[in-house]
Structure 1
């Protein structure tokens, strides 16, 4: 098995491709992170107050620098979500193997950040197909959790269609998580 932190794979689905986020993505990703309609759907739990609402290219580049640092230090992987039909960069996803002294130890945490116009069942299901087929092994986890606030109707429908169930309890101190076991 390839160590995801030594060589980050790209993944291609029917609708989207995931490629490790790089500085060259900053300008297009700013469209996602400056989209006020998208911000409520982002999972900023445990992110030290960062709400991921960025309105300057400088702030977007700082985020990508941090994501690069985090990858180098094996904290998490951040991929850019690219629409196959247009090559447009429409958001990012993050995945990591959580290590903590609680009941969620060794769970995978998946974060999905998309421009609001791409917060659709089709796009999210394609991301989840890739995650379900690859991330359990790549991150050595038996379960993946991901957040979907009640207003995220398309996301919740995609999660349910892809075998995710409501966690029905707080993840640490946060609500609105869904879980899928391998």
Structure 2
């Protein structure tokens, strides 16, 4: 790894968005994302022990953020809040980790992208991917990144394809709809 993201979590910024480590300060705005009925079915909750990320109360959202912080402190994954630069609106989160497993996807990065439904658009997703493509391979010491895009997310799929991702055309563990770069 270049710099240890678990010692000091970097903040990333481009013209449209900023990614910075999620904190309890994001609670109320992120609740708007995680209670968005149109967005919840698009979240990648694969292998999350039954959590579908549908949070309808401040307390549930607080528990999620506390779990994300615990996971960060224990070097399991990093959660960043996605912030629009023009308005400072917090529109969702992304998660990334280096996967260790005894299968063909060992040492791959897993990227989760959770956005409010109104921001599930190519331009936003491409800006997120521009940052991840530039920094996350080195930050997480991976050669490939896997991310999920369910078939109904045509904007996300188009953004992924434009940014160099391709469908893996098979199951990842027991799950469908993964793309790899």
**Structure 2 length as normaliser, TM-score?**
0.99
User: Counterpart in 2 of 1:21?
Assistant: 22
**1:118 matched to 2:119:** yes
CA distance in 1 between counterparts of 2:126 and 2:53 reads 23
1:14 CA drift (Å):
1.9
**Match of 1:109, SS?**
strand
> Which segments of 5 or more consecutive residues in structure 2 lack a partner in the other structure?
none
User: Counterpart in 2 of 1:48?
Assistant: 49
**Structure 1 length as normaliser, TM-score?**
0.98
1:85 CA drift (Å):
0.7
User: Counterpart in 1 of 2:148?
Assistant: 147
CA distance in 2 between counterparts of 1:61 and 1:24 reads 10
CA distance in 1 between counterparts of 2:91 and 2:105 reads 30
Q: How does 1:32-181 map to 2 (within 5 A)?
A: 32-180=33-181
Deviating 4+ runs (over 6 angstroms):
none
CA distance in 2 between counterparts of 1:17 and 1:78 reads 13
> Which segments of 5 or more consecutive residues in structure 1 lack a partner in the other structure?
none
CA distance in 1 between counterparts of 2:16 and 2:159 reads 14
CA RMSD of aligned residues (A): 0.4
* Residues 45-104 of structure 1, C-alpha deviations (whole Å, 9 max, x = no match): 000000000000000000000000000000000000000110000000000000011111
1:150 CA drift (Å):
0.3
Count of equivalent residues: 180
